[in-house]
Amino acid sequence: MKAADEQKSVLKSGVKRLLGRTGFDIVRSANNLGGVDDFIPFEATMKAARAAGLSVGDYIDEVMNGTPGATQSTIDELRTLGVYQAKPDTVLEIGPGSGRYLEKTLKECAPQRYEIYETAAPWATYLVDTFDVIAQPTSGSSLTPTPDASIDLVQAHKVFNTVTFLGASRYFFEMARVTRPGGRIVFDVMTETCLDPAAVHAWATEGGSGHDSYPAAMPRRTCVDLFATLGCSLEASFLAPMGIASTEVLVFAKAA
């Protein structure tokens, strides 16, 4: 076997082993504050994506997760819901990781400013260098550097099912604070909608081994009621694939 092929095969089996163990739909950080301790290394993932001739986002969807088009289908739903029609000029994303949603968001709209809060330094640096976004100092649950009511679209994908209840809740208050009146908040959480007995059985038997913090559930009503008190009403929701089951994407609008 050639050295390059050998490297690919080692990486593939390592990734497979990781995914097999966790059922993760994830790019994990070495310093993830949510308690997930494994990670898919930046360098090796980038190399593997290049070798496959794919963008890193498409590589994660197609090769690592085996769900080609999954990211695009969420973006398509959001477009149908009019999220990009509003022409967001300022976007903030929590936990963009490889940037698979970020890249596609930039194709849908052309914001003047795109801020990221990402705890994994190598991925944050890559996103700054590649997409000219602004990496804000990330404490793990606050958006302090971002002023009140300054962002048109605040989003997080596949993040709040990897962090603790408190971490997610603290971000929720912050997301509502930084969103401008009339702006949108989009994120997914593993709600009771995603947790029928068959899904719980699948997670219990096939997922999460060695990763007690993933997948973390969050009651739908908790989100809807909390955001309502913060002036944000639920506009729409839909299911998206996550690991061996699903997650629920919630779309809120902040009162104008």
Closest CB to ligand SAM among 14 and 140?
140
In the chain, the N- to C-terminal Cα span, in Å, equals 61
Closest CB to ligand SAM among 96 and 111?
96
**From residue 114, how far is each of 57, 111, 133, 146, 148 by CA, in Å?**
18, 7, 5, 11, 16
Closest CB to ligand SAM among 142 and 222?
142
CB of 42 to ligand SAM, least distance (A): 10
Closest CB to ligand SAM among 34 and 183?
34
List of residues 6+ apart from 74 with CB closer than 8 A: 101, 157, 240, 249
Rounded CA-CA distance 220/222 in Å is 5
CB of 119 to ligand SAM, least distance (A): 4
CB of 131 to ligand SAM, least distance (A): 14
Cis peptide before 215 (omega within 30 of 0): yes
6 class by beta-carbon count within 10 Å (0-12 exposed, 13-18 middle, 19+ buried): exposed
CB of 198 to ligand SAM, least distance (A): 23
Closest CB to ligand SAM among 7 and 55?
55
CB of 222 to ligand SAM, least distance (A): 18
Residues 150 and 127: beta-carbon distance below 8 Å: no
Query: Which positions lie near ligand SAM, rule CB under 6 A?
Result: 26-27, 29, 32-34, 94-98, 100-101, 117-120, 123, 138, 140-141, 157-159, 162-163, 167
